[in-house]
Amino acid sequence: MLGLMRGYIRVVDTVNRRIGRIMMYGIFVLMGILLWSSVSKTFFLPSLWTLEAAQFAMVAYYILGGPYSIQLGSNVRMDLLYGGWSARRKAWFDLLTVCFLIFYLCVMLYGGVASLAYGLGYFGSAPFSFLGGLATGGSEIGFMERSSTAWRPYLWPIKAVMVAGLLLMLLQCLSELFKDVLILRGVPPERESA
């Protein structure tokens, strides 16, 4: 069992570290979009796509970088009491709080999958079976949702990014849960350098 936990931690941490390191450069994509927005508004006709593209880039940057942030422990934490605790007490507290986070992420993931299915034109009550049917060719894409702005992009790509980010964050939280279990069992998890 401990070997399975260590293997899971190693795989999930590696995937999220690589994605997080790539997404660190997403800030430059966002800066480029906003720079073009400023230039086009000053010297040319304003571009219709820049504000919404900047919002989409920020969502991707934030949600795909979140699991790496959790992995590094750089998320916001009230350190008034926590900082002075022993590693074992921290592990107990983290184990409890990560369970609440996992529940929250499961609810968010369900909502994200439902929203993605809606964005692809599914208006029923079984979004998981619809998306599963898309993968196997049993479902058809309906009338796809578009933004209500003048640019009118399809919304399913950013919704798919959000679902992927929520899934990666959920997997990372399970990795953190396993790390806490290992600490409580007296087996420190292997920490790889970022």
Report the pLDDT averaged over residues 60-79.
88
pLDDT of amino acid 177: 95
pLDDT at 76 over 80: no
- HEC string of 56-119? HHHHHHHHHHHHHHHHHCCCCCCHHHHCCCCHHHHHHHHHHHHHHHHHHHHHHHHHHHHHHHHH
d(CA 117, CA 123): 8
What pTM, to 2 d.p., does this model score?
0.88
pLDDT of amino acid 79: 75
Do residues 68 and 15 lie in contact, with contact meaning Cβ atoms separated by under 8 Å? no
Q: Which residues lie across from 146 on neighbouring strands?
A: 154
pLDDT tens-place string over residues 10-58? 999 999 999 999 999 999 999 999 999 999 989 988 888 999 999 999 9
* Residue type at position 6: R
pLDDT tens-place string over residues 120-160? 999 888 898 898 888 888 888 888 999 998 889 999 999 99
pLDDT at 194 over 50: no
Residue 192 confidence class, pLDDT cut points 50, 70, 90: low
pLDDT of amino acid 191: 61
